[in-house]
Structure 1
Amino acid sequence: MRALREVPRAVWLLACGTFVNMVVSVGFAFVFLYATGPRGLGAGAAGVLVGVGGVGLVAGNFTGGWYGDRFGHRRVLLTAAVGSGLLLGAVPLLPTAALYGVLPLAQYAAGVQRAAQSALVAVIVPEGVRRQAFAVMRAAANGGFTVGPVLGALVATRFSYDWLYVGEGLGSVGLACWTARVVPAARGVSRGRGRGGEGGGVWAALRARPAVLVLLPAIVVVDVVYRQQYSTFPVFLADHGMDARVYGTLLAVNGGILLCLEVPVAVVLRKRSPLRVVGVGLVLVGAGYGVLLVGVGVGSAVVMMALLTVGEALYKTTATAYVADQAPEHVQGRFQSLYAGASISGVVLAAPLGGGLYEVAPGVVWPVCAGLGVVAGVVVLLSDAFPRPRRPYPFPSPGAAAPSTPPKGLRPLDPRRP
């Protein structure tokens, strides 16, 4: 497809490295089993270990872009990937008490790496091509994580859980080496001023973009709703006589639909209003949980997961690209960090909020999830009417023809140039 050929070669190479890294990045998924098994911790202590690791991951996502704007996104990505890799590779050698400090630090570095990578892609990809580029990156990550847990379980049961952390550490360091090779150093640095000479800090830039200020909390709300599929939803299935095999099959439906749809959806809808695409996606996430109000069974669970996944395919890539397109160049990393943190806030919030509500009022959880998803989607749809920041030179929207004669005194800009 021509639209995919517009994605820079560096992004395709980054995606290859991301796929390999995600295949081995499964240690955190097995932390609870590792802690309660070989390390001999109780369920409560293991839960605390998982929780503090999740906090570290979210904190890293919220701060990684700030470092990148100051020191360069490529440099921050390399430093965070190497740091995370060294910490994870050392896990088998550490006493159990040290894991409460090392694993959160490793997850923090992984979060910084994730935010820096998003900002790096935003910097090296021209506006109008970012939806396709982020879809390629997400497809690589999802593909790797589809394979990774299966291989991780095999390694843990046949050999040792320790090898999971050694493998993930090597994968993280390997990704740093690969990124250093495929992305030239000069391409990982944002320019010092915003588009059209715009200056000021991140909050001034956000105030000038009210739609972004609406989008970010909407993403937080929907991520808490979306991640109920990993906490209260399997408990709900078990309470209605459906075992882990049904749940595993539903997760496979999620992964399969994403791998098949995410890139084609980004290509087909690249000329559509991003906020409308995101809004519809959020509504579909809410509608997916609404299906559970109709009836409980394998059929309704499959429909629920399909709607949830289609909604994810619509909103996640599009929202990431929209935030990148809206960001002035001097705060690109901070915009990406705010979005990255919002987009995984459910890692910390979903289980305690959903689990607490399910414990006291199980019949209320799905109406609340459905309502929150739909309301968040409608609010984002309405924000499409908000005024956009003025540009001194009319940049073309994705798919639109560039103006033939620029205003006097300005030379034409190549839209393909990062």
Structure 2
Amino acid sequence: MHAFKDVPRAVWLLAGGGFVNAVVSFTFVFVFVYLTGPRGLGVAEAGLVVGIGGVGLVAGNFTGGWYGDRFGHRRVLLTASALAGAVLLCLPVLPTALLYIALPLAEYASGVIRAANSALVAVTVPEGSRRQAFAVIRCLANGGFTVGPPLGALVATWLSYDWLFVADGVGTLFLAFWTARVVPARGAGRAAVPYGGRDRGGVWRELRARPAVLVLLAAIVVIDIVYRQQYSTFPVYLADQGLDTRAYGLLIAVNGGVILLLELPVALALRRRSPLRVIGSGLLLVGTGYAALLLGAGIATAVAMMVLLSLGEILYKTTATAYVADEAPEHAVGRFQSLYAGASVTGVVLAAPLGGALYAAAPGLLWPVCAVLGAAAGATVLATGARAVREPGRPAHETGSPAPAVVG
């Protein structure tokens, strides 16, 4: 584990704060039940509120890095955490009509937090250690999310759903306080483009100069729609096959367990490998996971599917986040991270309606389509990585050779 010593202390502390915040960030799991239960909304109306919130989350991911490049990633993370925490604390006492504003606002701020956090890590950690750093962040966050939902169920049962939002709000405010304590106000948190300064190059021009990043972003949009079927159509499929909610809960636990067990060792073992090859292999594994469901309905194939999905997630998510950070020019690190963060949550809005429509029209087609889309996305990224290796003078982080140390 020597390579993890290159991860700055501030990142470990930031990951620790993220773990605490993730433990109490369970409202997204129970918000639909809360709206249809204590709030008394109909299923359609609750779905509309949740859908608008999902749009806010995606929008926050796409814009958080823009704010960070302009005003400083630390400052943006603190502001968004304070805003999200305050809204969540107030949400239980707000009239129902205001939920249409409050929930999307909280989700938008959460998206900004996610993008700003990634950008803050990217500018804190030198190239060559970013995969390990993002693996640490993801591993501890997944640990928190594994503990959170069961704890949230106990809180909702013993106390009330209102306390879920109070706990989430306090946890988000804690994240702001913790970040202010562990991340220096100067240095890593500074804006890459000073306020009032002039951007040295438009982000779209920078992207066009990096076609591999554009290919990756498109592949991530596709795979996220496929990946998030596990949260929408997959439980419906299990119910249709006679497997109850307990089986689905077990499968989600398998996902968390595999990630907690293997995320850090895999990041360490593959840190010298070509990132695009690692990412492409991960996307192929996601597609293969859904292909496993074609072998028949049952708990064995469902477990195999979830294990393959988890392994694919471990390969592509951390590596892709680090690759986009390595590719970004210094003045646009936040915007590049925002583009990746936004692409990586598009499934929040698109997965359920697209997958649900296909499953309703032709249930037998959904998993073959998911498998084909995963294979296509993976093959495209692998082909892009192969071209990058053949081209002379490629940067070290594209070819997989060790990157030079960055001092300062």
Query: TM-score under structure 1 normalisation?
Result: 0.93
Partner residue, 2:146: 146
In structure 2, the partner of 1:200 is: 201
Counterpart residue type for residue 262 of structure 2: L
Partner residue of 1:97? 97
| Structure 2 counterpart of 1:341 | 342
Q: Is the 8 A contact 1:15 1:141 kept in 2?
A: yes
Between the aligned residues of both structures, percent identity stands at 67
What amino acid does structure 2 have at the position aligned with 1:53? G
Q: Per the alignment, do residues 394 and 360 of structure 1 end up closer, same or farther by CA in structure 2, a change over 3 Å counting?
A: closer
Q: CA RMSD of the aligned region, Å?
A: 2.0
Amino acid at match of 1:166: V
1:280-323 C-alpha deviation (Å, 9 max, x unpaired): 00000000000111111111111111111100000000000000
Partner of 1:56: 56
3-state SS of paired residue (2:294)? coil
Q: CA deviation at 1:399?
A: 6.2
- Rounded to whole Å, the distance in 2 between the matches of 1:115 and 1:304 is 29
* Rounded Cα–Cα distance in structure 1 between residues aligned with 2:395 and 2:153: 54
DSSP 3-state at the match of 1:188 = coil
Partner of residue 156, structure 2: 156
Equivalence for 2:19: 19
Relative to structure 1, is the Cα distance of residues 326 and 306 closer, same or farther in structure 2, using a 3 angstrom cutoff?
same
Query: TM-score, with normalisation over the residues of structure 2?
Result: 0.95
Structure 2 gaps, min length 5: none
Q: Summarize the alignment of residues 66-105 of structure 1 with structure 2, pairs less than 5 Å apart.
A: 66-105=66-105
Q: Does 1:274 align with 2:264?
A: no
Q: 2:273, 2:401 within 8 Å by CA — same for their partners in 1?
A: no
- 1:363 alignment partner, SS class: helix
Counterpart of 2:18 in structure 1: which amino acid?
T
What letter corresponds to residue 53 of structure 2 in structure 1?
G
Kept in 1: contact 2:192–2:332 (CA 8 A) = no
Q: Work out the CA distance in 1 between the residues paired with 2:302 and 2:314.
A: 18
Contact residue 84 and residue 107 of structure 2 kept, 8 A: yes
2:133 aligned partner: 133
Take 2:383 and 2:392, find their aligned partners in 1: how far apart are those partners?
20
The aligned length equals 402
Q: Any idea what the Cα deviations from partners look like across 1:17-45, whole Å, max 9, x if unmatched?
A: 00000111111221111111111111111
| Amino acid across the alignment from 1:87 | V
Deviations 1:226-252 (A, max 9, x none): 000111111111111111111111111
Aligned to 2:284: 283
C-alpha distance in 1, partners of 2:369/2:396?
Answer: 43
Q: Is 1:366 the counterpart of 2:370 in the alignment?
A: no
Give the whole-Å Cα distance in 2 for the aligned partners of 1:204 and 1:169: 39
Q: Mean alpha-carbon deviation: is it higher for 120-129 or for 286-295?
A: 286-295
Could you tell me whether the CA contact under 8 Å between 2:396 and 2:402 is conserved in 1? no
Query: Which consecutive residues of structure 1, in runs of 5 or more, have no partner in the other structure?
Result: 403-414
In structure 2, what is the Cα distance between the partners aligned to 1:345 and 1:373? 15
Could you give the per-residue CA deviations for residues 167-214 of structure 1, whole angstroms, max 9, x where no partner exists? 111111111011011000112124449xxxx94111111111110000
Query: Is residue 407 of structure 2 the alignment partner of residue 417 of structure 1?
Result: yes
Residue 396 and residue 163 in structure 1: after superposition, are their counterparts in 2 closer, same or farther (change >3 A)?
closer
- Superposition pairs for residues 324-403 of structure 1, below 5 Å? 324-386=325-387, 400=402, 402=404
